[in-house]
Amino acid sequence: MSITVLKGHIVSAPKLGALETLENGYLVLDDGIIQGAFSSLPERFASAPVSDYGDRLILQSFADMHLHAPQYPMLGLGMDLPLLDWLKQYTFRTEAQFQDTDYAREIYRQLAQRLIRSGTTRVVMFSSIHTDATLILMEELERAGVTGYVGKVNMDRNGAPGSYQETTEESKRETLRFLEAAADFSRVKPILTPRFTPTCTDELMAWLGQTARERGLYVQSHLSENKQEIAWVRELHPDCVEYWETYDKFGLFSDHTVMAHCVYSSAREREAMKRRNVLVAHCPDSNINICSGFVPLQIMLEEGLWVALGSDIAGGAELPMNRVITAAIRMSKAKRIESEWAQDFLTVIEGYYLGTTAGARYFGAGAGFAPGDPLHAIVVDDAALPKTRALSLRERLERAIYLMDDRSIVAVYSEGKKVV
Amino acid sequence: MSITVLKGHIVSAPKLGALETLENGYLVLDDGIIQGAFSSLPERFASAPVSDYGDRLILQSFADMHLHAPQYPMLGLGMDLPLLDWLKQYTFRTEAQFQDTDYAREIYRQLAQRLIRSGTTRVVMFSSIHTDATLILMEELERAGVTGYVGKVNMDRNGAPGSYQETTEESKRETLRFLEAAADFSRVKPILTPRFTPTCTDELMAWLGQTARERGLYVQSHLSENKQEIAWVRELHPDCVEYWETYDKFGLFSDHTVMAHCVYSSAREREAMKRRNVLVAHCPDSNINICSGFVPLQIMLEEGLWVALGSDIAGGAELPMNRVITAAIRMSKAKRIESEWAQDFLTVIEGYYLGTTAGARYFGAGAGFAPGDPLHAIVVDDAALPKTRALSLRERLERAIYLMDDRSIVAVYSEGKKVV
């Protein structure tokens, strides 16, 4: 046994709408694995070393369930362009640069550092089409202490032919090379990543579905982000009634598939996601920046869909997940206004759950600070935020979610290890 | 003559939708007064000392046209509450604390520092009902280098009787005391501040209107923020067809009146604002946080209304005006979605104009870096932002507006003086 103890104000969201708070509590770890959270330290742990965080908050760290690593250099750029121009003028050009592995190393090291210092310890991430850059990304994430899934992107049509697109053969071959090399990593795992239906031929989709099945791999992609896209998909697959069926018919819509956006998913599409245990990666800041639309979040949650949050950089311009949580709150309020107050908004406590436990479940974690899980946590010093009256822990959580930045995060634990 | 020169990339927005950029340009000052911006330094200034900001951006500083100073301690709190509960549970309790002048000194010093370090050099601001705290606020703003207008709040009904409300007599007497003491300040001036129609009796409103006229004072208040409020005002003033008329009939709706929000202003109300040269302080983050609604910003701008931006803390949770600009952009996109793409969104360049020149005009300043104006500027170092390809100055402005924080702002000039 290698027992260590963290002391501080422990705040977790074990389920949607619930908050557990322990003032001056003790979080006991054995070799980084949570043994329990206690209001007073049990006698049997009395001799263990204590990291005393005093009046600081010990919060769950964040899970970012959808982001594009090679779009990091275009963060906060091109926001005035409509989606298709944005893709052509910025996105494909930016991603194409990751053929250069030195460039990839530099950018991905920056990104991994920025993620961990913002308190994001788990990700489900798109890379570019480049196998070597993708492996570099995995290295840099592991080095920084970020865990999760990374996918080399597959796109063999409707990209930028000549500069940023693969042939079907290349896409298959490079995917196999990626999967083989990715086996060397322990904390970051590969995920299959057809960019979205319009950029993948039927042959490639079928091969990816078969590969997922044969190797037991998870899949990530995009679904029903905007109306033009949906119309385009319908043209490409006249045999499918709805967008999700274009994935489903190739075996790419099953347990733990991550589908980003789902802004315009119908009741039937949502029902299919629920039945298949597909995770909806809701990306609120991206949805507003590129004018996609308002997700019916309240309805999805009431229906019991599995929803978590994604920064979706660089459609999203906010990498820190506390800002993505407030974006989700704000967008739920926009939906409330648009629906003439028919739909309720997301509360801060619900937002904290969506940004933590809801995503952590994807990686096999339990609810909140569950015993048996490796610790994923951040320690927040809110003393530099505006001085105010004495606040409850619930209020301090709210203020931290709205106002904190990387300067407020004084320690980060990932997979049981202190990484910041 | 006391000539000084600033060298750097000069970026200004002289009118809505226009951007002026000078790469490696020279901004020449005489005792802090702008003489001109030049692509090469004119011979006659060749011997003047140069502050060389190298590859940094020299931008216009920001004007925050609506914010509540005594709500700073509740920034990022109470965001889950409906407006009236939020007022009762947080706002009035928080503002009431400013009876304590030591507390006021501490909070207002923090706020003034935070404003100037975020690049806000001009404000039109609500204080609380307390005269002494209001004078302390003015002192601290002047000390930090923030200029503008500050108003002691008037409210003699519908506040929190016993803890946070005045009698009509107190309100008049304290307003006169405030105006007399405020004459001692040079860079911060008084403004009359009926909180809003529901909190002021007819007698008080009439007296404020008369005082404004007699002393040539400007007025600030709130207008048409949400539907319940509008219905309430209608009950209180059955003789008025629209909300604005409740101010107008007392002489409180005239040139340079600042009206915050105007979310539900009708075409007729907007026409009255245009006719009277009333400034609309659009507060996008507040409008979404407390679910007020979507401002028809595009329509207001097309109609030629005078619109500028306000953080409206603490209904707004973002004090830095670059974040208020991006909130305005995002809210204009929400309006676009809600209007089924009938209304266009605000571009970054337009947002920069609304956060700078449009507000600066209130204080008598010209467009952009206009010769004859005292310099109001910030110097932005964007080298720590994500590394990317070479960007145009327009792109660097966009990225700075989306991503910068106080760490990016390496110098601030206010009224011709370097204050950071």
As a whole number, mean pLDDT of residues B105-122 equals: 98
Between CA A352 and CA A392 the distance in angstroms is 16
pLDDT tens-digit readout, B219-258: 999 999 999 999 999 999 999 999 999 999 999 999 999 9
For residue B83, the model assigns a pLDDT of 75
pLDDT at A83 over 80: no
pLDDT tens-digit readout, A49-80: 999 999 999 999 999 999 999 999 999 999 99
B292-323 core/surface letters (b: 16 or more CB in 10 A; e: else): bbbbbbbbbbeeebbbbbbbbbbbbbbbbbbb
Q: B403 and A289 in contact by Cβ < 8 A?
A: no
**Which residue in chain A has the smallest CA separation from B338?**
A338
Q: B386 and A110 in contact by Cβ < 8 A?
A: yes
Between CA B160 and CA A24 the distance in angstroms is 35
Between CA A221 and CA A247 the distance in angstroms is 9
Give the residue carrying structure tokens 């806000």.
Answer: B120
For residue A387, the model assigns a pLDDT of 80
Residues 6+ apart with CB under 8 A from A250: A202, A205, A206, A208, A209
Partners of A350 on chain B (C-beta within 8 Å) are: none
Mutate: best of B288, B289, B332, B403, partner A, most A CBs <10 A: B288
ipTM of the complex model: 0.97
For residue A89, the model assigns a pLDDT of 82
What are phi and psi for residue B271, nearest 5 degrees?
-65, -40
For residue A178, the model assigns a pLDDT of 98
Q: A388 and B77 in contact by Cβ < 8 A?
A: yes
**Which residue in chain A has the smallest CA separation from B403?**
A76
DSSP notation for B119-162? TEEEEEEE--S-HHHHHHHHHHHHHHT-EEEEE-EE--SSSBTT
CA distances from B221 to A199, B39, B62, B69, B150 (A): 53, 43, 21, 14, 12
Q: A386 and B107 in contact by Cβ < 8 A?
A: yes
pLDDT tens-digit readout, A378-419: 999 999 998 888 999 999 999 999 999 999 999 999 999 999
CA distances from A324 to A64, A77, A218, A403 (A): 9, 18, 24, 12
For residue A406, the model assigns a pLDDT of 97
Between CA B150 and CA B134 the distance in angstroms is 8
**Which residue in chain B has the smallest CA separation from A73?**
B388
pLDDT tens-digit readout, A226-263: 999 999 999 999 999 999 999 999 999 999 999 999 99
Mean pLDDT of all residues belonging to chain A: 97
For residue B15, the model assigns a pLDDT of 97
Between CA A299 and CA A307 the distance in angstroms is 11
Q: A399 and B107 in contact by Cβ < 8 A?
A: no
For residue B88, the model assigns a pLDDT of 81
For residue B85, the model assigns a pLDDT of 81
pLDDT at B174 over 80: yes
Q: B294 and A345 in contact by Cβ < 8 A?
A: no
> Which of A377, A376, A396 lies closest to A386, judged by CA?
A396
Q: How would residue A85 be classed by pLDDT, with cut points 50, 70 and 90?
A: confident
Q: Which of residues 79-108 of A touch B (CB under 8 A)?
A: 79-80, 94, 97, 106-107
**Which residue in chain A has the smallest CA separation from B285?**
A330
Question: How much of chain B, in percent, has pLDDT values that exceed 90?
Answer: 95
For residue A1, the model assigns a pLDDT of 66
**Residue with more model confidence, A243 or A82:** A243
Under 8 Å between Cβ of A411 and A379: yes
As a whole number, mean pLDDT of residues B170-184 equals: 97
As a whole number, mean pLDDT of residues B113-134 equals: 98
**Which residue in chain B has the smallest CA separation from A393?**
B77
Report the amino acid identity of residue B10: I
Closest CB to A337: pick one of B110, B294, B317: B294
Structure tokens at B164: 């946070």
For residue A90, the model assigns a pLDDT of 86
Partners of A226 on chain B (C-beta within 8 Å) are: none
pLDDT at B1 over 90: no
Predicted structure pTM score:
0.98
Partners of A402 on chain B (C-beta within 8 Å) are: 75-77, 79, 317
pLDDT at B285 over 80: yes
Under 8 Å between Cβ of B331 and B287: yes
CB count in 10 Å sphere of residue B142:
16
Between CA B308 and CA B314 the distance in angstroms is 18
pLDDT tens-digit readout, A118-129: 999 999 999 999
**Which residue in chain A has the smallest CA separation from B399?**
A76
> Which of A224, A47, A187, A293 lies closest to B333, judged by CA?
A293
Partners of B398 on chain A (C-beta within 8 Å) are: 76-80
pLDDT at A153 over 70: yes
DSSP notation for A220-270? EEEES--HHHHHHHHHH-TT-SSTHHHHHTTT-SSTT-EEEE-TT--HHHH
**Which residue in chain A has the smallest CA separation from B350?**
A80
Partners of A403 on chain B (C-beta within 8 Å) are: 75-76, 317
Order of strands, sheet of B417-418, starting from the edge strand that comes earlier in the sequence: B33-38, B20-30, B3-12, B50-60, B377-380, B409-414, B417-418
Q: B399 and A75 in contact by Cβ < 8 A?
A: yes
Mean pLDDT of all residues belonging to chain B: 97
Residues 6+ apart with CB under 8 A from B13: B19, B20, B60, B349, B352, B353, B356, B357, B368
pLDDT at A287 over 80: yes
Element (H, E) at B179: helix B168-182
Q: Which of residues 348-377 of B touch A (CB under 8 A)?
A: 348
Partners of A317 on chain B (C-beta within 8 Å) are: 326, 402-403
DSSP letter at A90? I
Structure tokens at B371: 């010769």
Partners of B111 on chain A (C-beta within 8 Å) are: 386
